[in-house]
Amino acid sequence: MKKLLLLGALVGLCGFSYSFADYIQIGWNKVSEGLKDSVPVGIEIDRLGLSLQQLDAEIASNAHKVVEESVALDRFAKLVDEKQQGLATLKSDLSLLKTKYVSTTCDKTKGTLEKSMLTRVTRFKSQSEAVASMEKALNHKRDAFEKMRAAFEKQKLTRDVLKNRLDSLKAEYQSLKMQGSLAQSELTNSAVRKATDLALEIEDRLEVQRRLAEQTEELVTDGDLEEHLESKEAAFDLSDVNGVLDETLEKLAQ
């Protein structure tokens, strides 16, 4: 009998504990809501202004990143252009050797020209593959940069919209203070709700922009470029020297 009474007491105590915990939670929620509603409107508006200052600092930092990526992109584009010019020069040399090879009748000269052509053909093939990989990497960099710049412009536009809304809230608040026609409860219920909702909206938009900025930091690095050069095979076109190459190989086979 004593055991049954003890068990019943424990069950009742546990039930009371769970109920008491619920009451504590409900009470805390009520207190939190009351504290939130009691914050003066002016303080909430100042908090929005502080959020905008933080947004301005983030925009300034992102602007620096955009400029840095722009400089890096221009530098890489210049390097690709130099490699393309070198390839064009090598191609011109092959064409010139072809002309000399066809016009000469001296066997010794032809032999020398054959060696020069084979050397340049090998170099041309290697460099053309490298240039093709660099061109693909450049296109990837340009696409990534355009996405970054678009996200940055959207962030600046969002900031301007939020600044206009903050100015509107300030004007409304000052107007209500000057009129003095609304009770404090009415003022709190109208303006605090707007200020709080706008603060949450700023935080959400900042998080979206922060994640967008992280997604755009996927530009190809030098290490990635080396992987492109080692693993990617590019098309090779020697249409203007194919005839000379065939004649050279046939000559060597004899």
- Residue 21 included in any domain: no
| Cα–Cα nearest to 69, from 211, 210, 217 | 217
Tens digit of pLDDT for each residue in 131-180?
Answer: 999 999 999 999 999 999 999 999 999 999 999 988 988 888 888 887 76
Indicate which CATH number applies to the domain containing 60: 1.20.1260
Q: pLDDT confidence of 57, banded at 50, 70, 90?
A: very high
How many distinct structural domains can be found in the chain? Answer: 1
Tokens of 23: 């009451």
- Residue 13 included in any domain: no
| Cα–Cα nearest to 96, from 244, 212, 228 | 244
- Residue 20 included in any domain: no
- Residue 14 included in any domain: no
Tokens of 130: 């490298």
Domain that holds residue 145: 39-253
Tokens of 208: 């979206």
Dump the DSSP string for 71-97.
HHHHHHHHHHHHHHHHHHHHHHHHHHH
pTM summary value:
0.51
| Cα–Cα nearest to 65, from 206, 208, 222, 214 | 214
- Residue 43 included in any domain: yes
- Residue 209 included in any domain: yes
Share of the chain above pLDDT 70, in %: 61
- Residue 6 included in any domain: no
- Residue 23 included in any domain: no
